Structure 1
Amino acid sequence: RKAALATVVQVKGSSYRSPGARMLMLDNGRWVGSISGGCLEGDALRKARQVIMNKTPRTVTYDTSNDDDNQLGIGLGCNGIIDILIEPIAPEHANHPITLLESYITYGNIGASASVFESEAANIPVGSKVGYNDLEKTTGSSEQLIELLHEDLAEVVTNQKPEIKEYFTTQGRIKVFLELIQPNIDLLIFGGGFDAKPVTELAHILGWNVRVTDECVAHLVPINFPKADQMQSCKREFVQKEIKITPFTAIVLMSHNLKYDEEVLSQIIGSKAPYIGILGPKKRATKLFDALKEKYHIEPTAEQMERIHAPIGLDIGAETPDEIAVSIISEIQAKFSNRSGGFIKYRTGPIHHRDGKEDQVFRQVYLKNFFPNQKAN
């Protein structure tokens, strides 16, 4: 089927979704993803049909700052201005938007992408793109655009901060969304018990990569973990050698076997994982830390202890396995978003991360253990 991709490229004020949110629309009216809370999708779908027919990208601006504005037939009350870039997907073109996004999935590391959403330059039309990764490989619509954006894309990767920037070329002004692209959270669960199942299911709903590992093959029954992307049997002494851990990996120890957790923790504490959660009470965690010192001669550093969450999860009064799964997944999300996990109603600042100069909204990124120009192990 013919399709179009809608991307939120700029938000000023309040909005349900931040820049980088995407929605893929087909010419039969079906879509996946979202660019708002459901209020803009219908109109975006109508405009996507025009884009598909014309085969020309366009930027659509929605002003939701006026509650009485009947532009969309409803008063949204979001109090924001949202720019949406809608691009046709032409399979015959080698560098259409889906191909670029796919390259980041196979790359599996942090990168940046630039999308032109306003242009007065005939040689750099709306929809022109440049892609960049931390190995300094840059690809794009034209050599001129690559040369213009290369350094700024490198800075986005280094600083881990997306940007909206204007450039002035010989043929006119262009406006570009410089987006930070990172892999999904990679959830690694040690322990194939019954309480690991709801954790894998919630992580799957969020689109995370989910792996379950245990040294007991009998625990790794596919019917128990239908939402896991990978199940791997690994003896505790070979974890460091056989289990892949990256700066995007969140590790959860929930085996209910103290000796197993001791061995695993001794091997993963020096990894690049920014989050290590340990199921169980504080006394159990204390026993694990004592074993690290006495048995494995490992004295955890302050940085390592900051990455370890024991007891695991947010304090939401969880008791059942499903409730505990919500607590665990919420804490991991808060960690990777650099948030405290408290009640939003008590937050004194804005809900979304903003540029103080223009009230521009960006998604906040947490990659504390990631070092640019270094491939993840």
Structure 2
Amino acid sequence: METTMEMHDLCAIAAREPRCVLATAVKVEGHAYRKQGVSMLLTEEGVRYGSISPGCLESDLQARVDRVLDKEQLEFVEYDMRPADDLSWGETIGCGGLIIILLEPVCGELRSILSRMHTYFQSGSPVELTRSFYHQYTRIHYVIKVVIHPSGSGAAATDSDSGKSVSQREGRSEPESRDIPLQISTRYVPKPRLIIVGAGNDVIPVARLGRSAGFRVVVADWRENLCTTARFPGVELIRGFPHEIIPVLDIQSGDYIVLMSHQFPREREFLELLEDRNYAYLGIMGSRTRTARLLNDLPPLKHVHSPVGLTIGADGPEEIAISIAAELVACKRAAAVTECLNVQRGITHATDGYRASGR
């Protein structure tokens, strides 16, 4: 199975949280808020990262964290919201169905596995995590595999990495009676990278929305006074001119690129350096006339979206940022199945202001 949960983030968070528990939905039947395979982290201090329900299960899961950490044992928790007359859950759960959640203390080999998964995610590699249960579900053997997508093929090949085994003390449930398989595999994809060339004020909301939409955001600019952590918190920053940042970026086939510097010569230089490189999306801020001038005499570039953003009648930097984020999400979702949708485009983003009009 494949899940859209951002395990990329959870792996990074686990590295800095000394005592936390990984909660994973290992079985889902009927209607549920999230799908099977989704995970979240719960810390000893009560901080929660991610979600499995609309908020109705997390408090109960949090109450189990201290026991799981203190005993260093896994635990299975079942929430059955299927009975129509279940008054204890029916008015608060917000959904109906069966959810079985595995709680694992993040220590020892699991911590090592999550750290290695994060390294693969940072390099852009999808990862498959397999849990094999032994001794009446009281022991787990972990195996991670790097998933490789051959060029031009829809099938995925796997490159096995070394497996790890961890022993857990006796659990508090009897999952075998609930028909939980002895082996569960979940495939996680890394967060796609959104590279924004330019660090002006109009980039700030695009970077913020890009992060919220599940992108790993990188802002690149040669103007050091603009490309700062104060202006772009939580964003990777690369400072330099196009010929300096291109080698550092090492653009990959899954990258999304948006040109928003409003500096014609620099963007032209960047586009010239994109020749023969693969990427998923290239959005260019500005009018059609400006883009035509930018692309003049260049070899045909792939996946160009210009003017960038969906046609929603956006006006002002915040609305324009929303239109850009919406187009990025549309292409990201479509790319998971087939080529990027031929989404409607046609917003004119004037370089001398923030007027936008559909065409």
Q: By the TM > 0.5 criterion, same fold? A: yes
- CA deviation map 1:232-265 (0-9, x unaligned): 212x345543432123321111122333323322
Q: Contact 1:195–1:321 at 8 Å: present in 2 too?
A: yes
* Cα shift readout 1:282-314 (whole Å, capped 9, x = no counterpart): 33333333x1xx2x3x134xxx2xx22222122
Q: 1:4 to 1:271 in 2, by over 3 A?
A: same
Deviation at 1:184, TM superposition (A): 1.6
Partner residue of 2:206 out of 196, 199, 207: 199
**1:286 aligned partner:** 292
> Which residue pairs with 2:236 in the alignment?
229
For residues 89 and 71 of structure 2, what CA distance do their matches in structure 1 show?
A: 23
Alpha-carbon separation, structure 2, partners of 1:269 and 1:228: 26
Aligned pairs for 1:147-166 (under 5 A) are: none
The count of aligned residue pairs is 298
Aligned mates of 2:90, 2:69 — CA distance in 1: 24
* Range moving further from structure 2, 59-68 or 315-324: 59-68
Q: Which residue of 2 aligns with 1:299?
A: 300
CA distance in structure 1 between the aligned counterparts of 2:29 and 2:276, rounded to whole angstroms: 41
| 2:140–2:165 CA contact under 8 A, matched in 1 | no
Corresponding residue number in structure 1 for 2:319: 323
Given that 2:81 and 2:90 are in contact with CA atoms closer than 8 Å, whether structure 1 keeps it comes out as no
Counterpart Cα distance in 2 of 1:367 and 1:128? 34
Q: Equivalent residue for 2:61?
A: 44
One-letter amino acid matched to 1:102: S
Deviation at residue 189 of structure 1 after TM alignment: 0.7
Which amino acid in the other structure matches residue 196 of structure 1? V
Residue identity matched to 1:229: E
Q: CA 1:28/1:263 → structure 2, altered by over 3 Å: closer, same or farther?
A: closer
Separation in structure 2 between the aligned mates of residue 231 and residue 240 of structure 1, nearest angstrom: 10
Q: Which runs of 5+ in 2 are unaligned?
A: 1-17, 148-157, 167-178, 341-359
Identity of aligned residues (%): 29
Return the alpha-carbon distance in structure 1 between the equivalents of residues 286 and 207 of structure 2.
18
Matches within 5 A, 1:163-312: 174-206=181-213, 208-234=215-241, 236-238=242-244, 240-268=246-274, 270-289=276-295, 291=296, 294=297, 296=298, 298-300=299-301, 304=302, 307-312=303-308
Q: CA deviation at 1:367?
A: 8.8
**Aligned twin of 2:330:** 334
What amino acid is the match of 1:100? I
Aligned counterparts of 1:27 and 1:46: Cα–Cα separation in 2:
10
- Against the structure 1 CA distance between its residues 43 and 126, is the aligned structure 2 distance closer, same or farther, given a 3 Å change threshold? farther
Asked if structure 2 preserves the Cα contact closer than 8 Å seen for 1:318 and 1:327, the reply is yes
SS in 2 for 1:338: helix
Q: Which runs of 5+ in 1 are unaligned?
A: 144-171, 340-364, 370-377
Residue 110 of structure 1 corresponds to: 126
Counterpart residue type for residue 261 of structure 2: S
RMSD: 3.1
CA 308–82 in structure 1, closer or farther in 2 if over 3 Å, else same: farther
Other-structure match for 1:140? 163
**Mean alpha-carbon deviation: is it higher for 265-274 or for 237-246?**
237-246
Give TM-score scaled by structure 1 length: 0.68
Q: In the alignment, residue 26 of structure 1 is paired with which amino acid?
A: T
Amino acid corresponding to residue 288 of structure 1 in structure 2: L
